[in-house]
Amino acid sequence: MNRSKVMKEINDLLEKYCEDCFLKKHFRKEFSKSYAHHFCIKQCTVGDILQKKGELLIKTIKG
């Protein structure tokens, strides 16, 4: 998989699921930006997929 394809997949996921995410907005408002970020990274299934795509991206850069 090439770098541009991985980047496009990441951007598509962010646009489709993260931009208007109710939970992200709620946690930012009720708790804090860092709390919402932590939730996205540790508990959100989309965040998990994004992390795996990021790992793929790193592998494509390293060759």
Name every residue whose Cβ is closer than 8 Å to that of residue 1 and which is 6 or more positions away in sequence: 56, 60
Q: Could you tell me if 7 and 61 are in contact, meaning their C-beta atoms sit under 8 angstroms apart?
A: no
For the chain, what are the domain ranges?
3-62
* pTM for this model (two decimals): 0.84
**Can you give the pLDDT at residue 34?**
97
17-60: pLDDT as tens digits: 999 999 999 999 999 999 999 999 999 999 999 999 999 999 88
